[in-house]
A and B are shown apart, each in its own frame.
Chain A
Amino acid sequence: MAEVVLKNIKKVYPHTAEKDKKKKKAKQPPEKKSNLQITEDGVVAVQQFSLDINDKEFIVLVGPSGCGKSTTLRMVAGLEEITEGDLYIDGERMNDVAPKDRDIAMVFQNYALYPHMSVYDNMAYSLKVKKTPKDEIDRKVREAAEILDITPLLDRKPKALSGGQKQRVAIGRAFVRNPKVFLMDEPLSNLDAKLRNQMRTEIIKLRSKIDTTFIYVTHDQTEAMTLGDRIVIMKDGFIQQIGTPQEVFMHPANIFVAGFIGVPQMNFFHGCRLSKKDGGYAATLLGKDYALSAAQSHLLAEKNVADCTVTIGVRPVDMKGHAAEDGDAVIEVAEMMGSEVHLHMTRDGEDIIAIVSSREADLSQFEAGRKMALQFDPAAMHIFDSKTEENLLPCVEE
């Protein structure tokens, strides 16, 4: 029930004194765990983070570990100080407001249930702290327990609960407070695969009941795609792209986003040629020329793209091919997934994956060692600048 605005947020973790000493002693380049920018002030975990979150929107921050997504969430929660920039919740600047006064609730990855309190007391704690009348606490806790289906567990201690139950309680504890903003920090990553799918559905259902603003952090792109109204993809402290699941899947802003979103990963063909031809553009891929559509050419022309080397990305589902003696790629493994077959191929040491429907195709042709001739649909091509890695066709309306 609140708009959240992040304006040019930056987070720097200062060097500790000990580390400085070590550096002076060793004078060796520090170990690079990630590509985070290291300045004189410290390690920059997040920078230039600007995002307007609408009321009741479900925002997912996603990215590989160390990309700054959790740090950003913790800054919204007030658990980390904001080095630079402004945070507004409902129009009020929150940079220096204590977590308890921000009217937020947070669900942690390891649940963080108070081990010495019963489920009931865990859920009631924040209300007790706020000195809510007892009968109101009781009503709210039982209501939340009912919604989350944990009423029979109210008297138990957290250690007597399974992972999934703990997660429900953790959500319940956040839920009873009726917060303006609901923060979730990788809430499902401690659960096994089956339970994770189940809880994901539960969260979608829950959302319709809670009807508040959500900020959800995950490293799992499936969770991001299924839960988010909009997804924020981050890498090395920078936002890579903000968009709806559809947008980031169909029109990834750069090679990183294209590779991160979608399973199996998009295939990339580096060093392809993009050239002007007959008033339009053509891409050369595996020795064949493909004329791009008028809309694509128009976009490229608008951007004044000259002949250049590009990286072309094609999603596995968009790959077409047939067995051929003089094919482009060699099949290594054909994985039968049920309704589809994942073909893992190599070409010049690069892996290529194609997804073929197991009903339509003649499966006997996909034996390991056979050669495949690949064909591409120009409309399904994602064309990235080789140098900047930016998408040259960011938004093509079909």
Chain B
Amino acid sequence: MKEIIGGSDFKKRLLIFCILLIVSIIIVLPYVWMLSNSFKTTMETLTDPMHIIPQEPTTAGYEKVLTKSPFFRWLWNSCFVTGINTIVILFTSSIVGYIFARFNFKGRNFLFAMLLFTMMVPAQVTMITTFIIIDGVGLYNSVWALIIPSFVNVFGIYLCKQYCEEIPKELIESAKIDGAGNFRIYWNIVIPQIRPALGALAIFTFLEYWNDYLNPLIYLSSTDNMTLPLALSYFSTQHSTDLSATMAASALIMIPAAIVFIIFQKQFIKGLALTGMK
């Protein structure tokens, strides 16, 4: 069947297409620029006029990152912190969210209100006290300083609670009668039901800790313990202003995040669409 596109309809589509195109270019351009610079020499990155296509393409930036710095050590640190945090937060958020949604106990509403209240306190307010505690328990300059304080995520609990409330009560009762205990119900019935929420939460959490710059900056001092975002400053400020290497490192850091996003994007978009959140 031939689709008939009327004149005004065509113009409308063209307009939408143009707007989307412009927005896409605005969003994509910095990434293209980053990739382009990562293949230039530092000299060329500073030349005027700038050009997108490198005049003398070189992988010197990448070589420098991979050989002249403990990049793989940093990569491991980042993966370790992000991985553990994501897994633990998914677990704590879902189980606590489930308990708040489905169990009746004294003081439930009060406790939940307290949790929500902590969400309204800006992180900057608690930064110093947290630092003192971390230092007090001897975790300063350890990657664990980035992990242990993050085990509970109020936003995650809230998200999971909302999802758990949508689960039909009969489903859980049915599992109870089928002989499943509370943890088994959580594991076999509840988790599969809130998968979209967990997918979204996984991406949020991953990106949050993967890109975290402030906390590593506060808690980590030695080069060996750094995570990747912090390591960017290793090239740009402390030792040199090597733009080529900085851009190469940035490009390398982006790869795992992109992979995670591609894996989880279906769940992620579903999660966003269902919660109506941004």
Please report A residues at the B interface, Cβ cutoff 8 Å: 77-79, 98-100, 104-106, 108-110, 112, 114-116, 125-126, 129-130, 173, 177
Contact = CB atoms under 8 A, between A and B. Distances in A.
B56 interface: no
B178 A100 contact: yes
B177 A114 contact: no
Contacts of B189: 114
Nearest to B195: A116
Nearest to A18: B109
Nearest to A183: B177
A90 to B, nearest CB: 17
A110 B178 contact: no
Contacts of A98: 176
B170 interface: yes
B179 A114 contact: no
Contacts of A100: 176-181
Given A104-B177, A106-B173, 11 more contacts: A77-B177, A78-B176, A99-B177, A112-B170, A114-B174, A114-B175, A114-B188, A114-B189, A125-B178, A129-B184, A130-B179
B33 to A, nearest CB: 44
30 contacts: A77-B177, A78-B176, A78-B177, A79-B173, A79-B176, A79-B177, A98-B176, A99-B173, A99-B176, A100-B179, A105-B177, A106-B174, A108-B170, A109-B170, A110-B168, A112-B168, A112-B170, A112-B174, A114-B171, A114-B174, A115-B193, A116-B192, A116-B193, A125-B180, A125-B188, A126-B177, A126-B178, A126-B179, A129-B179, A173-B178
A371 B166 CA distance: 58
Interface size class of B (residues with CB under 8 A): 10 to 19
Residue with the highest number of chain A CB atoms closer than 10 Å, among B170, B171, B179 = B179
Interface of B: 168, 170-171, 173-181, 184, 188-189, 192-193
Contacts of A105: 177
Contacts of B188: 114, 125
A129 B184 CA distance: 9
Contacts of B181: 100
Contacts of A78: 176-177
Nearest to A110: B170
A246 B170 CA distance: 34
A79 B180 CA distance: 13
A98 B182 CA distance: 12
A104 B178 CA distance: 9
Nearest to B174: A112
Nearest to B191: A116
Contacts of B170: 108-110, 112
Contacts of A79: 173, 176-177
Contacts of A106: 173-174, 177
A112 B170 CA distance: 6
Contacts of A77: 173, 177
Nearest to B104: A16
A6 to B, nearest CB: 18
B171 to A, nearest CB: 5
Contacts of A125: 175, 178, 180, 188
A114 B188 CA distance: 9
B193 A129 contact: no
B173 A108 contact: yes
The 6 closest A-B pairs by CB, nearest first: A126-B178, A112-B170, A100-B179, A116-B192, A112-B174, A129-B179
Nearest to A125: B178
A129 B178 contact: yes
Contacts of B192: 114-116
A17 to B, nearest CB: 10
Nearest to A109: B170
Given A77-B177, A129-B178, A112 B184 contact: no
B183 to A, nearest CB: 12
A70 B112 CA distance: 31
Contacts of B175: 114, 125
A240 to B, nearest CB: 28
A129 B176 CA distance: 11
B180 A108 contact: no
Contacts of A177: 178
A108 B174 contact: yes
Nearest to A131: B179
Contacts of B177: 77-79, 99-100, 104-106, 126
A129 B180 contact: yes
A105 B180 CA distance: 13
A177 B178 CA distance: 9
B169 to A, nearest CB: 9
A177 B189 CA distance: 19
B182 to A, nearest CB: 10
A114 to B, nearest CB: 6
Contacts of A130: 179
Contacts of B193: 115-116
Contacts of B173: 77, 79, 99, 106, 108, 112
